[in-house]
Amino acid sequence: MSAHGGYYLPEPSHWPLVGSLGLFLTTGGLAMALPSSPGGEMGSLAVMYTGFAVLAFMMFGWFGTVIRESESGVYNEQVDRSFRMGMGWFIFSEVMFFAAFFGALYYVREIVLEQLAQTSANPYNNLTGEWIWPAFKGATWPTAGPEGLVYKGAELAEGAKLGAKEFLSMKAMGIPALNTLILLSSGVTLTIAHWGLKKGNRNQLILWLAATVLLGFLFIGFQAYEYVHAYSDEMNLRLSTGAYGSTFFMLTGFHGLHVLVGATILTVVLLRCIKGHFSEEHHFAFEAGAWYWHFVDVVWLGLFIFVYWLV
């Protein structure tokens, strides 16, 4: 352990290299398993699972080291600031990742659809549609494209049955609205937990943090239920359902994955709280988890408006 003007500089560590190996096995394994021709069979994923195991091992080891160092009090205020900046900029990078998919949604909805459906005021913009798919004229969002399934609306008329070549869009005012309520409440419960931590009220901290984690997993449960419903014959809404299916599942899917990560972070923080970690002033991990959770929350609001509501 070496203190340099108070700034903690860690000893040489093998964890980063273990992490690189884990990433390599995970991605290399998946790359090898992917079919080399469209429609081909997936190969063995054993290498990828090994990679996951190595990554999990790395995370236990690396985070464990950091937690031990933190609890032993070697991190001063300046180190804490470095961590805060690191987390803040990491979240910014995540925002930009989602921005790419929101941008894709905007582009297929507002620009591509107009060209394919031949609804542009500028006749030159309509040429692709006119020449290749004249029958697609006048199509509106949601769409699975000129050669995809036909959009039948958000729900069927009483007694009607969905055809094999048709799909439904996801209604905003059902499970998604409920999930909005769940995520927003989880932001409130998390803040109450934080107040408890700052006041030194451990019961308040643990109770409300547990509630937050519970709400998080509840959200994931509802989301999974929604996906199962979407994939059924009652909706025919899948990842392969053209532009609508692609943007819907990629945006909500990556968001769901981030909720899972956020809930896992908060679970770890909860376990640490139960073990008696953190102090009233010194609890960066809690705050980092909270920032991440609020980020996931805000992305969801964007999804709720642009993916579910404005259909």
* Of residues 62-101, those binding another protein (CB under 8 A): 62, 78, 81-83, 85-86, 89-90, 92-94, 96-97, 99-101
Q: Which is nearer to another protein, 36 or 72 (CB)?
A: 36
Residue 38 found at the interface with another protein (CB under 8 A) = yes
- Please identify which residue in the block is written with the tokens 């979240």: 91
Site for another protein in 249-268 (CB under 8 A): 249-250
Tell me the per-residue interface mask from 115 to 154 with another protein, x by CB under 8 A, - otherwise: xx-----x--x--x---x----------xxxxxx------
Q: How far is the CB of 99 from another protein (least distance, A)?
A: 7
Query: Which of 152, 194, 238, 255 is the binder for another protein (CB under 8 A)?
Result: 238
Work out the end-to-end distance of the chain between its first and last CA atoms, rounded to an integer number of angstroms: 57
Contact 180, 304 (CB under 8 A): yes
Q: Which is nearer to another protein, 107 or 195 (CB)?
A: 107
> Which stretch in 111-119, 176-184, 217-225, 260-268 sits in contact with another protein by CB under 8 A?
111-119
Residue ranges of E strands in the chain: 2-4, 7-9, 150-151, 166-167
- Please identify which residue in the block is written with the tokens 């990742």: 97
β partners of residue 3: 8
Q: How far is the CB of 76 from another protein (least distance, A)?
A: 12
Query: Which of 44, 76, 140, 240 is the binder for another protein (CB under 8 A)?
Result: 240
Q: How far is CA 165 from CA 8, 134, 226, in A?
A: 62, 19, 21
Residue 60 found at the interface with another protein (CB under 8 A) = no
List the structure tokens of 146.
Answer: 């000129």
Site for another protein in 3-32 (CB under 8 A): 4-5, 7, 9-17, 19-21, 23-24, 27-28, 30-32
Site for another protein in 167-226 (CB under 8 A): none
Closest CA to 274 of 219, 217, 197: 197
Cα angle 245, 114, 242; round to 5: 15
- Please identify which residue in the block is written with the tokens 């910014």: 92
